[in-house]
């Protein structure tokens, strides 16, 4: 036998160190994804305006991200509208 006995030695569920969805709802994951998209768009705008020096952020871009031509006023306004905070709904 190679490796651990699954039934005895491997941690299961939330006890496992690679457990990912502990305490996260779909809504929380969606909100985090939206914030990541906003930060990526703001970073793109900052590079266009020469506000940064050094290297760009590494890694995978968030879902919904696309590189925009910021010399086009329509795409520039789209970035600005996407990065504005959304009003909180009253329940």
User: Residue 89, SS3?
Assistant: coil
For the whole model, what pTM was predicted?
A: 0.67
Task: Tell me which residue range forms the domain holding 58.
Answer: 23-83
In a domain, 88, yes or no: no
Query: Which residue's entry shows tokens 């789209």?
Result: 78
Length of the chain: 91
How far, in Å, CA of 52 to CA of 31, rounded? 26
Q: What pLDDT was estimated at residue 3?
A: 60
In a domain, 32, yes or no: yes
Q: Is residue 76 within a helix (H) or strand (E), and if so which, with residue range?
A: helix 73-83
In a domain, 64, yes or no: yes
- Report how many domains make up the chain: 1
pLDDT in tens, 10-62: 777 777 777 776 667 788 888 888 999 999 999 999 999 999 999 988 888 88
In a domain, 13, yes or no: no
In a domain, 89, yes or no: no
The alpha carbon of residue 90 and the mean position of all alpha carbons in its chain are separated, in whole angstroms, by 25
């Amino acid at each position: 036998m190679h490796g651990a006995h699954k039934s005895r030695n491997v941690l299961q569920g939330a006890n496992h160190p690679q457990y990912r969805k502990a305490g996260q709802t779909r809504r929380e994951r969606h909100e985090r994804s939206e914030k990541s998209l906003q930060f990526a768009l703001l970073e793109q705008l900052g590079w266009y305006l020469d506000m940064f020096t050094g290297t760009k952020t590494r890694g995978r871009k968030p879902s919904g991200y696309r590189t925009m031509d910021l010399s086009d006023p329509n795409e520039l306004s789209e970035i600005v509208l996407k990065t504005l905070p959304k009003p909180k709904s009253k329940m």
